[in-house]
Amino acid sequence: MSENKGKTFFIDQTRCTACRGCQAACKQWKKLAADETVNTGSYQNPPDLNGHTFKLVRFNEVEVDGKLKWVFFPEQCRHCLEPPCKMMADAFIPGAIIQDEATGAVLYTEKTKDLDYQTIREACPYDIPRKEESTGLLTKCNMCIDRVRAGMLPACVKTCPTYTMHFGDRDEMLAIARARLAEVQKKSPAALLADSDLVRVLYLCEVHPSHYHHHMVADAGSAGDRIGPFSRRALLAMRPLRTG
Amino acid sequence: MTNHWIDLKNSDVLLIMGSNAAENHPISFKWVTRAQQRGATLIHVDPRFTRTSAKADIYAPIRSGTDIVFFGGLIKHILDNELYFKQYVVDYTNASYLVGPDYDFKDGLFSGFNPETASYDRKKWNFVTDDKGVSLKDPTLKDPRCVLQVMRRHYARYDLKTVVDVTGMPEAKVLEVWNSFAATGKPDRAGTILYAMGQCQHTVGVQNIRALSMIQMLLGNIGIAGGGVNALRGESNVQGTTDIALLCDNLPGYLPIPRAIWADYDAYVKAGTPVTNDPQSANWWSNLDKYAASLMKAMYPAADHKTAYTWLPKIDDTKVVEYSWLSLFERMYNGGFKGAFVWGQNPCAGGANAGKNRKALAKLDWMVVVNLFENESSLFWKGPGVNPKDVKTEVFFLPASMNVEKDGSVANSGRWLQWREKGAKFMGDSLSDGDIVIRLFEEVRKLYKAEGGKHPEPILNLDTAYLKDGMYDASALAKRLNGTFLKDVTIADKQWKAGQQVPGFAALQADGSTACGCWIFSGSYTEQGNMMARRDRAQTPEQAAIGLFPNWSYAWPANRRILYNRAGVDQAGKPFDPKRAVIAWNGEKWVGDVPDGGWKPGEKLPFIMVREGRGQLYGPGRVDGPLPEHYEPFESPLAGNPLSPQRVNPTALHFAHEEKAVRDPRFPYVCTTYRVTEQWQSGAMTRKTAWLKEMQPDGFCEMSRELAAKLGVKNGEQVVLESVRGKVQVVAIVTPRIKPFTVMGETVHQVGIPWQFGWGQKKNATFDSANLLSPSVGDPNTGIPETKVFMVNVRKAQPGKQG
């Protein structure tokens, strides 16, 4: 699929208030289980993504230029244009992870229960896939593919009260993301769109991506992050050979 | 709100004062962020750095309970530097009025104070008037007796150093906020102030709101798009319940509460109707007799309205706050009630001094709880430390249906009455509140019919024709609230038949020929149908320019979307800011919003709800003074008040026998209470919702790293908070978002705790309601409790042990 086709999210983090409507809406639409959590000294809960938490708002207290910032990161699968998790899965069980033709959504099927969890998780440059212990399936955001095919917005986008979450055709999303970035850069010159040429979830970061989460952008490719001969980022940017 | 949610996007500077709008009113940030996208500046003043501060351009920390010091300093700053909007101030406020010779302010007290009754003789604060009773004025604002000069003298004490010393806000932040906000005192700049319980829940709560309203008047920010005084309502129908008088001091539509001293209807009307001889003043409350007569007829259509008045309950000639929440629980605690209806409330968790409330409920013979779920109040008899055998109170639980299971209207913060149709049927044996109250009432009426009783007329004669197929019908009540003609009449050449809906409150009559349950809702359900159910986006270009949708729902009053909009235009009807005009006179008529009265430009003064028609910088109507003055909270880290020898509000509601912690080494830390977005009210609904509970599962205490180091507490550990009244154990969130204050040269630590968690919500959980800590002291005008500031101790919990 051409990289300008299909669907894309634009997540304008300058507007996110961490109300977590998206996190709750995701679980509500997909009827995902809730855990008996405890407060660990943070608003962030559950503490991490898990087999039944596909959208997680991360809270980080950071100091930027001597000023306290509380940054919020509504984390989810990026639906990579060329998904390394799929490439890795294809090497073992073709069809376990598929890419939807019309939208570009990366979808995990029933066959993922036969994949090696750690191999797939480590293939992901953003550390997204998790295993649901109750079913053995590998899980993550599926772009609300059922809703999208029915002409509806993903649940997280639909519920967002602040225009943080946007969803639509990729060219349109790229256009509004770039326009918004130019606006934000007037006030915050360091602002950027994280990995916008590689993924279908365009995160607008007002401060350096590392302040949101160490997996906000794909790993730069240190030795420890290498998977076989390639860095994760190199794997992400790899294009399948096309002939004719 | 004087304005409405969408209008926030029109603002240039938004000051969120002690509210956590992003957290508690998520929808507000749809529009706040739009304003920011336009280049607006967002200022957040709050003791804590919150989700709201995270989005703010300027965050300024303030010690809880010192807002009037901050506002008083800002008033002084505006006056000293001539930053006010002079034309607006002279034409539309009472800045020029001459204050009478009896007014004085000395040693923290205004003139007329009676220490025995802890109240003021407000006549001492009157203006000087001419022989017709119209206030004398000096439009040059030079007369030393004029309001502006009185304010200048009053706020002379609120200099920058004092503000910094008392509030604990760093000097650079004070100036940054003041300069940013005061810059909106120009015709083409709009500043808005957003607030919620952070301003109200203080013993100076009403004067906090007065102070921020005065700043908005000085800057010409009321009556304009992107301006106003905007109270954010946490529950979507708080506005509606206020309108419909779920308060002790008024009847529906803000009519005064009947008092025993006004024995008959004429005395009530006379006392409630302000009189002015100023031909420029619309003095809208001169219509009170029409609204009062119509209300009587709405309740008792078959009776004469004057007779109906004698049937209404009347309060004694005492302070109205003696009928408010804290006073009711004090009386209950002292055995003053046999029974109580606890209807959609949770006083054992959501009420200040919840431990006292729990003891008070145990003094009752019976209690009826109407709620969706069991909560800390319906189950108080088996709560922590209570042996059910020791409780004599018989408790009845009536299951109520939820808002989405009922048709009806919701009034949002912007005064929009929005009709909703039910989305589901009642579950099990639950019923709507309307059904429950009518069934209870009819049973009581049967008993009166069968057995007689004292003063039976109000019960026997009340009209309750709100049923359809045996069930409560919200439409029938909505029609009654709008108002109905009871006789055929002709108004301005138009014929109306008995039984027809009135078109608006201008049609209401003083002779008993109309019935209307709430005059401000008049126009919401007319012969054209249910105006609240409208969902039409049609708008004129003028309306589109400011995001105004007059055909979407119905806004009270008269579908006016921005109140006092005649203050946004000059005497010729020309908008001060033509780019953001709310109304404008086009030579023949007003365009834009519904004007505050259709008179031609310059004919009437804009503040039509006050007797003399001008905004009250000096407000002689409040019980605790005509100008806001700083008093320390009842519990404070300071032994005195740096501004005057009077430590606390001398008129505040309090119970002298209850101990207060004042610079008490046992309780050295300031504590405030608040909400989280994931939980709703006292949590009875949301704590049962697994997805919400997963995100925000436990009570917690937010504290600075500095305090945590001092106490040896690590992030995530259990801590115990104790006040004079009680203790709770919660998780510590140690965070750089809270910083110690320097107050009067000393370090003052502040902590905060949300009040939405309670006992029994989780297995083995040790925590209980934060309101076990908060005091029974309240504002003298409203009785609202001072739950936003009190003193506590904090210590590390012993492992494996509670408390």
- The residue among A11, A13, A19 with the most chain B CBs within 10 A of its CB, best to mutate, is A19
pTM: 0.96
DSSP label at residue B488: -
Answer whether B694 sits within 8 Å of A61, measured CB to CB.
no
pLDDT at A223: 44
DSSP label at residue B772: G
The two structure tokens encoding residue B668: 């050295």
pLDDT in tens, B166-202: 999 999 999 999 999 999 999 999 999 999 999 999 9
* CB contact A123 to B (< 8 Å): no
- Helix pair angle (B67-80, B171-182), 10° resolution: 60
Q: Taking CB atoms and an 8 Å cutoff, what residues of chain B touch A43?
A: 676, 695-696, 733
- Of A18, A35, A40, nearest to B694 by CB-CB distance is A35
Report the SS3 class of residue B729.
strand
- Residue B557, preceding peptide bond in cis (omega within 30° of 0): yes
ipTM of the shown complex:
0.94
Smallest CA-to-CA distance from B2 within B748, B706, B565, B578 is with B565
pLDDT in tens, B377-406: 999 999 999 999 999 999 999 999 999 999
Give the list of residues 6+ apart from residue B731 with CB closer than 8 angstroms, or none. Answer: A38, A39, A40, A41, B698, B699, B700, B701, B716, B717, B718, B719
Q: Taking CB atoms and an 8 Å cutoff, what residues of chain B touch A37?
A: 693-695, 697
The two structure tokens encoding residue B647: 């430590």
Distance CA B188, CA B557 (A): 27
Contact B375, B383 (CB under 8 A): no
Q: Taking CB atoms and an 8 Å cutoff, what residues of chain B touch A67?
A: none
DSSP label at residue B618: S
C-alpha separations of B200 from A103, B69, B102, B229, B788 in Å = 50, 15, 30, 13, 9
pLDDT in tens, B454-512: 999 999 999 999 999 999 999 999 999 999 999 999 998 999 999 999 999 999 999 99
* CB contact A182 to B (< 8 Å): no
Q: What's the first-to-final CA gap in chain A, in angstroms?
A: 15
Contact A203, A14 (CB under 8 A): no
Q: Taking CB atoms and an 8 Å cutoff, what residues of chain B touch A186?
A: none
Reported in sequence order, the residue ranges of B257-414 that DSSP labels E, i.e. its strands, are: 339-343, 366-371, 394-399, 408-411
Report the SS3 class of residue B484.
strand
Distance CA B615, CA B214 (A): 8
Q: Taking CB atoms and an 8 Å cutoff, what residues of chain A touch B693?
A: 34, 37
- The residue among B55, B689, B737 with the most chain A CBs within 10 A of its CB, best to mutate, is B55
Q: What's the first-to-final CA gap in chain B, in angstroms?
A: 43
Neighbours of B697 (CB within 10 A): 25
Distance CA B261, CA B317 (A): 7
pLDDT at A230: 55
Measure in Å the smallest separation between the Cα of A111 and chain B Cα atoms: 28
What's the whole-number average pLDDT of chain B?
A: 96
Give the list of residues 6+ apart from residue B653 with CB closer than 8 angstroms, or none. Answer: B203, B319, B321, B324, B326, B327, B777, B778, B779, B780, B783
Biggest alpha carbon distance in chain B?
A: 81
Task: Write out chain A's pLDDT in tens, 244 residues.
Answer: 556 799 999 999 999 999 999 999 999 999 999 999 999 999 999 999 999 999 999 999 999 999 999 999 999 999 999 999 999 999 999 999 999 999 999 999 999 999 999 999 999 999 999 999 999 999 999 999 999 999 999 999 999 999 999 999 999 999 999 999 999 999 999 999 999 999 999 999 999 999 999 999 997 544 444 454 455 666 666 654 443 3
Smallest CA-to-CA distance from B504 within B597, B420, B586 is with B597
The two structure tokens encoding residue A18: 């961490």
Answer whether A61 sits within 8 Å of B735, measured CB to CB.
yes
Instruction: Please list, residue by residue across B242-254, b when 16 or more beta carbons sit within 10 angstroms of its beta carbon and e when fewer do.
Output: ebbbebbbbbbbb
The two structure tokens encoding residue B672: 């405030």
* CB contact A37 to B (< 8 Å): yes
- The residue among B33, B42, B52, B738 with the most chain A CBs within 10 A of its CB, best to mutate, is B33
DSSP label at residue B501: B
pLDDT at A221: 47
Distance CA A118, CA B125 (A): 77
Please give the average per-residue pLDDT across B442-450, as a whole number: 97
The amino acid present at B437, given as its one-letter code, is V
Q: Is the pLDDT score of B557 beyond 50?
A: yes
Distance CA B582, CA B589 (A): 14
Q: Is the pLDDT score of B747 beyond 60?
A: yes
Pick the residue from chain B with its C-alpha nearest to A29.
Answer: B691
- Of A17, A38, A42, nearest to B29 by CB-CB distance is A17
Chain-centroid distance of CA A22 in Å reads 13
Please give the average per-residue pLDDT across B365-373, as a whole number: 97
Pick the residue from chain B with its C-alpha nearest to A28.
Answer: B691
Please give the average per-residue pLDDT across B652-671, as a whole number: 98
Answer whether A69 sits within 8 Å of B54, measured CB to CB.
yes
Smallest CA-to-CA distance from B64 within B786, B801, B796, B798 is with B786
What's the pLDDT band for B788 if we cut at 50, 70, 90? very high
pLDDT in tens, B699-719: 999 999 999 999 999 999 999
Answer whether B53 sits within 8 Å of A70, measured CB to CB.
yes
Q: Taking CB atoms and an 8 Å cutoff, what residues of chain A touch B49?
A: 68, 70
What's the pLDDT band for B321 if we cut at 50, 70, 90? very high
Distance CA A194, CA A216 (A): 7
Distance CA B407, CA B341 (A): 24
Interface of B with A (CB under 8 A): 22-23, 26-27, 29-30, 33-34, 37, 49, 51-55, 59, 676-678, 690-698, 700, 714-717, 731-737, 762
Distance CA B413, CA B417 (A): 10
Answer whether A41 sits within 8 Å of B716, measured CB to CB.
yes
* CB contact A185 to B (< 8 Å): no
pLDDT in tens, B197-218: 999 999 999 999 999 999 999 9
Cross-strand partners of B636: B662
Please give the average per-residue pLDDT across B646-671, as a whole number: 98
DSSP label at residue B24: H
Distance CA B24, CA B233 (A): 9
Pick the residue from chain B with its C-alpha nearest to A69.
Answer: B54
